């Protein structure tokens, strides 16, 4: 079977790039796979670059019928996943839904381009008569898009859907009843344990008896780093050698930056930014415990949390969404209510004072990962579902999907939306981080327009 596989790859950083580069060699045992990218970068992983045929999406659009199936790793990022939409429109395939909200992707394809009517149509199947009002409020920055779902048009256009949790499965079944959908648990690599935790700590300059708490996913306000910082501010005098290691790109928001200064935590908080895969795996392993708390969830599977388990590092999670499907013996839960800070503080103190419990949780994490989170298990179930969809679901031609419009109002609407979004970014991230985010987006757009010197 010939499969076209749509995904971002490194140097595009992120969990989906990491996951695809690990999963693809395992999928290649079942099918002939070509990787389709947006074409304005060169993949850097030699195993992927040399082991697979890689095409620009415009090459794919010349003859989608050359493939029996198209697989779209769909995440919530316009830059990494926007190119997939015209391909899904021309060749409906299997959507691997990594995020149920998809607000950044769909708003980027609609309001950011002044496409007011396209967004109303996208929201109508879920929100009915409220769709036009919601679109107006989103245009003006008066509605929190993180509390809505924008996934319906992409799910409806697909031939089938793969999700990574029972929670996401139930949401998709409710939204597109009758659509083939399968829960395929996400796998992660099981790196060889060549160095002990003590050796890794010496290598990176930490002491053997430090109590290291880690956050190892993209920094964003919804990840509740403020909750962790508030707890650490009260614990630093009670836990000798307390450190907070923040690994990942993005920005935690202006208020979080201020908290680090106001609480006097600069000496115990280390922010690394994006790191290479080897260092990332080492930092996971040398931590005592990781935290992955979320203000809201979009039925996403936290790839970073699963990587912690594979590294033998227990993870403190929010008691909501897909996190409820992780075992409590290695993923203790914090209820996201008014007592969350107190509960987190008590749990961290208990773990710091009873390292034997941390060790037991570490053993449980490794055991769970080896039994349930291997890439071989995922690849087998993943390709089994794709083969079933190909056999039982007829392919189709063009589908209506976030169709671009023409109209004199488009530039005005796009300007209004982008102005309101900039104001929202400044409120959440502060002026400095907002300017950085806007400059990255502008540079990417100029490159796509042909200004390669940038």
3-state secondary structure (DSSP) of residue 434: helix
In order of their start, the domains of the chain are 2-187+377-448 (3.40.50), 197-373 (3.40.50.2000)
| pLDDT tens digits, 377-432 | 999 999 999 999 999 877 666 677 888 776 768 889 999 998 988 887 777 666 66
CA distance 306 to 86: 32
CB atoms within 10 A of CB 237: 8
Token pair for residue 135? 């679109």
Q: What pLDDT, on a 0 to 100 scale, did the predictor assign at position 395?
A: 66
Which tens digit of pLDDT belongs to each residue from 269-307? 888 888 888 899 999 999 999 999 876 667 777 888 999
Give pairs for 408-414: CB < 8 Å, separation 24+: 409/114, 409/116, 410/113, 410/114, 410/115, 411/114, 412/114, 413/111, 413/114, 413/115, 413/116, 413/139, 414/111, 414/112, 414/113, 414/114
Percentage of the chain exceeding pLDDT 90: 66
E strands, 319-454, are 333-334
Q: How many CB atoms are closer than 10 A to CB 449? A: 9
Distance between CA atoms of residues 51 and 205, nearest Å: 37
Supply the pLDDT for residue 60: 95
Contacts of 209 (CB under 8 A, 6+ apart): 240, 241
Average pLDDT score over the chain: 88
Question: What are the pLDDT digits (tens) for 330-371?
Answer: 999 999 888 898 999 999 999 999 999 999 999 999 999 999
pLDDT at res. 293: 87
Question: What average pLDDT does the segment 317-330 reach?
Answer: 92
Residue scoring higher pLDDT (168 or 434): 168
Q: What is the pLDDT of residue 454?
A: 35
133: helix, coil or strand? Answer: helix
Q: Name the strand (E) or helix (H) holding 207.
A: none
> Which long-range CB contacts under 8 A does 69-72 form with residues at least 24 apart?
69/1, 69/2, 69/3, 69/4, 69/93, 69/94, 69/386, 69/389, 69/390, 70/3, 70/4, 70/5, 70/6, 70/94, 71/3, 71/4, 71/5, 71/6, 71/96, 71/386, 72/6, 72/96, 72/158
What's the pLDDT score for residue 276? Answer: 84
Is 221 a residue whose pLDDT tops 60?
no
Task: Give pLDDT, residue 321.
Answer: 86
**Torsional sign, CA 293, 299, 300, 306:** positive
The predicted structure's pLDDT at residue 173: 95
* Helix pair angle (410-448, 131-139), 10° resolution: 60
- H helices present in 63-130, as ranges: 78-81, 84-90, 103-109, 116-127
User: 40: helix, coil or strand?
Assistant: coil
Q: Between vectors from CA 281 to CA 275 and to CA 285, what angle results, nearest 5°?
A: 130
Q: Residue 368: what pLDDT?
A: 96
pTM over 0.85: yes
- Return all residues near 201 (Cβ < 8 A) that are at least 6 apart: 207, 208, 210, 286
pLDDT-derived band of residue 257, with 50, 70 and 90 as boundaries?
confident
Q: Are 309 and 330 in contact (CB under 8 A)?
A: yes
Nearest Cα neighbor of 399 from 128, 116, 85 is 85
**In this structure, are residues 188 and 273 in contact, taking their beta carbons and an 8 Å threshold?**
no
Confidence class for position 179, pLDDT limits 50, 70, 90:
very high
Q: In 196-276, where do the E strands start and end?
A: 211-215, 242-247, 269-273
Question: Taking 70 as the threshold, does the pLDDT of residue 144 lie above it?
Answer: yes
Residue-level pLDDT at 424: 78
Q: With cut-offs at 50, 70 and 90, classify the pLDDT of residue 451.
A: very low
Q: 């029972």: which residue's tokens?
A: 166
pLDDT at 452: 39
Axis-axis angle for helices 277-286, 197-204 (nearest 10): 120
Look up residue 208 and give its two tokens. 């053997």
Q: Residue with structure tokens 């245009």?
A: 139
CA 419 to each of CA 102, 111, 226, 414: distance values in angstroms, whole numbers, following the listed order: 21, 11, 27, 8
pLDDT tens digits, 64-105: 999 999 999 999 999 999 999 999 999 999 999 999 999 999
pLDDT of 127 over the 80 cut: yes
Residue range 185-204: mean pLDDT, rounded:
90
Question: What is the pairing mode between strands 269-273 and 289-292?
Answer: unpaired
Q: Tell me the residue length of the chain.
A: 454
Q: What pLDDT, on a 0 to 100 scale, did the predictor assign at position 15?
A: 84
């Amino acid at each position: 079977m010939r499969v076209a596989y749509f995904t971002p790859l490194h140097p595009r950083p992120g969990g989906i790039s990491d996951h695809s580069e690990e999963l693809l060699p395992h999928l290649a045992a079942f099918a002939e796979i070509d990787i389709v990218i947006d074409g304005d970068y060169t993949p850097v992983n030699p195993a992927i670059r040399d082991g697979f045929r890689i095409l620009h999406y415009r090459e794919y659009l010349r003859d989608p019928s050359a493939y029996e199936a198209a697989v779209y790793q769909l995440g919530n990022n316009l830059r990494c996943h926007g190119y997939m939409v015209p391909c899904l429109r021309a060749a409906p395939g299997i959507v691997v839904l990594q995020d149920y909200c998809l607000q950044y992707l769909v708003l980027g394809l609609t309001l950011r381009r002044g496409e007011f009517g396209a967004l109303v149509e996208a929201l109508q199947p879920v929100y009915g008569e409220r769709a036009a009002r919601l679109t107006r409020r989103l245009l003006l920055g008066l509605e929190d898009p993180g509390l809505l779902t924008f996934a319906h048009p992409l799910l409806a256009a697909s031939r089938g859907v793969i999700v990574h949790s029972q929670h996401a499965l139930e949401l998709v079944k409710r939204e597109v009843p009758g659509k083939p959908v399968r829960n395929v648990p996400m796998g992660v690599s099981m790196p060889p344990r060549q160095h002990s935790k003590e050796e890794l700590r010496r290598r990176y300059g930490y002491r053997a008896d430090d109590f290291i708490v880690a956050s190892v996913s993209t920094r964003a306000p919804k990840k509740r780093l403020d909750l962790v910082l508030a707890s650490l501010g009260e614990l630093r005098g009670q836990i000798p050698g307390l450190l907070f290691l923040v690994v990942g790109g993005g920005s935690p928001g202006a208020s979080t930056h201020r908290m680090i200064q106001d609480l006097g935590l600069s000496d115990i908080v280390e922010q690394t930014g994006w790191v290479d895969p080897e260092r990332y795996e080492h930092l996971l392993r040398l931590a005592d415990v990781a935290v992955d708390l979320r203000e809201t969830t979009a039925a996403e599977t936290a790839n970073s949390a699963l990587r912690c388990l594979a590294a033998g590092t227990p993870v403190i999670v929010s008691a909501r969404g897909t996190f409820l499907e992780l075992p409590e013996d290695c993923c203790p839960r914090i209820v996201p209510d008014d007592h969350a800070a107190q509960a987190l503080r008590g749990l961290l103190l208990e773990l710091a004072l009873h390292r034997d419990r941390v060790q037991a949780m570490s053993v449980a994490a490794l055991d769970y990962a080896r039994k349930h989170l291997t890439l071989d298990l995922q690849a087998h179930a993943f390709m089994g579902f794709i083969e079933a969809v190909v056999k039982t679901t007829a392919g189709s031609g063009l589908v209506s999907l976030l169709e671009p419009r023409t109209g004199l109002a488009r530039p005005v609407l796009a300007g209004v939306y982008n102005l309101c979004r900039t104001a929202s970014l400044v409120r959440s991230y502060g002026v400095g981080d907002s300017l950085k985010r806007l400059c990255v987006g502008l540079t990417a757009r100029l490159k796509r327009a042909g200004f390669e010197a940038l």
